[in-house]
């Protein structure tokens, strides 16, 4: 029979465990800070690359219409120069100039109620297109002024269009992922 007499130094064990735990915590913190800084650097690079407007014309679909409209209004500087194309009806207010109209859609807000939403457009011969006529517009996003700074579409092409079967558009949703280029 072999008997060992071990005398444990509780203070030394505690100090050793504390030192090991401290090293582990510091290692985790350093790794976390490194990942955070690396992600921020990637995010900054994406913002710089995404802020260049696309030279392509983005065709706006009715399902994303209000999401894009909301995003462009909230972050106008990001989208200046972006070329877009979409279909809607001509809507005018009494205080619009002869060159202005809203390319509008009715946004479904529930209980068979709708609101008129759209982009303010500028076009030299805008009067040729009657109010409530359906048109397809292609143009470039710029800054305009109507009760404050808003997006303005400088129309480069316009053509008559047929009213779609479902002329309403949905409310903006929280799942839309904005970018600096409209797709």
Distance CA 81, CA 173 (A): 25
Residue-range domain boundaries for the chain: 7-50, 57-169
In terms of pTM, does the model score above 0.85?
no
For residue range 23-82, list pLDDT tens digits in order.
998 999 888 888 888 777 655 444 433 444 456 888 888 888 888 888 888 888 888 999
For residue range 15-35, list pLDDT tens digits in order.
888 899 999 989 998 888 888
Angle at CA 58, nearest 5°, toward 63 and 181? 95
> What CATH number has the domain spanning 57-169?
2.40.50.140
> What string of DSSP letters covers 7-62?
---HHHHHHHHHHHHHHHHHHHHHHHHHHHHHHHHHHHHHHHHHTSPPSSEEEPPG
């Amino acid at each position: 029979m072999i008997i060992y007499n071990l005398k444990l130094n509780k203070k030394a064990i505690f100090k050793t465990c504390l030192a090991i735990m401290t090293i582990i915590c510091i290692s985790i913190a350093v790794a976390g800070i490194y990942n955070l800084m690396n992600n921020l650097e990637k995010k900054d690079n994406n913002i710089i690359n995404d802020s260049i407007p696309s030279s392509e014309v983005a065709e706006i679909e009715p399902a994303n219409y209000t999401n894009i409209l909301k995003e462009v209004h909230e972050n106008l500087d990001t989208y200046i120069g972006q070329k877009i194309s979409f279909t809607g009806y001509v809507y005018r207010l009494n205080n619009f100039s002869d060159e202005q109209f809203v390319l509008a859609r009715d946004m479904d807000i529930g209980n068979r109620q709708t609101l008129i939403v759209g982009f303010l457009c500028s076009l030299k011969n805008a009067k040729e297109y009657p109010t409530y006529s359906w048109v397809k517009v292609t143009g470039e996003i710029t800054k305009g002024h109507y009760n404050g700074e808003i997006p303005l579409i400088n129309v480069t092409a316009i053509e008559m269009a047929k009213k779609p079967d479902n002329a309403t558009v949905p409310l903006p949703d929280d799942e839309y992922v904005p970018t600096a280029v409209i797709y």
